[in-house]
Amino acid sequence: MQKVKCLVWDLDNTLWDGILTEDKNVSLKAGVKEIIKGLDERGILQSIASKNNFEDAYKKLEELGISEYFLYPQINWGPKSASIKRISEQLNLGIDSFAFADDSPFERGEVAEALPQVLCIDAADMDKILDDKRFIPRFITEDTVNRRKMYMADYSRRQDEESFDGTSEEFLKGLDMVLSIAPVTEHDLQRAYELTVRTHQLNSTGYTYSYDELKEFINSEDYIFLIAQLTDKYGDYGKIGLILVENTDVMRIKLLLMSCRVMSRGVGSALLIYLEKLAKKEGKRLLADFLATDRNRVMYITYKFMGFDEIEEHDGASILEYTSEEERDFPPYFTINTEKL
């Protein structure tokens, strides 16, 4: 069962009673504010796809005290499927993790036809949302509670980056990024599990480990199990990466994943450099498992770019080996905190 990561709301006769263009004094539907806050506390992002005048509708959201809950609201006169697609692109989330609530059968039908992966909900059934298992994460972590604020910080970064007069590397140097890599503890387990079930695009195998499986790796002498956290001058990205390495006579990366929010920050390269240095220090070959999915092609490209070559392939599953003799160092725009090197 696919968990919902973002709920997109219609406004007229869905979020509030009435039609704004006909009545400027519309009020929130009963129970809606509790639903919005409840979803936010669960780390479920929210946005808007509404056919309205943007200035009037957003002003009303501010008057109602709820504008801060909606990321990249699409308030225009175009198809709502197009609005949802734009929100998906801005948030960098798969469209199959979206839900859409609207009172109009026509609008739900238009979205269902154009985007069949989206869960469409009749506004009349909104009172059932908080009890729907698709809206209930297994765990609620610190990163879960702060997810919307992290995305808001991402928005500020993106705006500043787009207006920055300089190179991409110069912008990154000015972020004061600190990447911390440390062994996973029991305190991290819920977030580690959350990362495996939420991360698809930047997941080297697409495999989802169970909570109990992850717990076993913590104390295993045959595995190196690490979690990465990233901060910069805008704030904390949270725990954004996970590394699982089978450590026997060779080091073999069984899982490498990271949040899509750090895709453009070079975190994948930094984590692989860390593992390359660790393998060299221990005098071991560094291998990596890669299983192609319909979403993770970028991870294969990252491995190849960082000096890994394919040594075995079968039915989409590959074993890669680090063969480069280049002495790589961490990107200069990172400060690296580690406990292994």
Q: Which residues of the chain fall short of a pLDDT of 70?
A: 1, 199-200, 339-341
Residue 127 to residue 26: CA distance in whole angstroms? 20
CA separation for the pair 49, 9 (Å, rounded): 6
The answer to whether 273 and 330 have CB atoms below 8 angstroms apart is: yes
Q: Residue 237 and residue 240: Cα distance in Å, rounded?
A: 7
Q: If you ran DSSP here, which 8-state letter would residue 236 be given?
A: E
Q: For residues 178 and 334, is the Cβ–Cβ distance under 8 A?
A: yes
pLDDT at position 202: 76
Longest dimension (CA), the chain: 73
Q: Which residue has the tokens 């392939």?
A: 313
- The confidence score (pLDDT) of residue 196 equals 87
* 312 strand-pairing partners: 319
CA distance 213 to 225: 12
The whole-number pLDDT of residue 340 equals 55
What whole-number distance in Å separates Cα of residue 243 and Cα of residue 57?
A: 44
Phi/psi for 127 (5° steps) reads: -65, -10
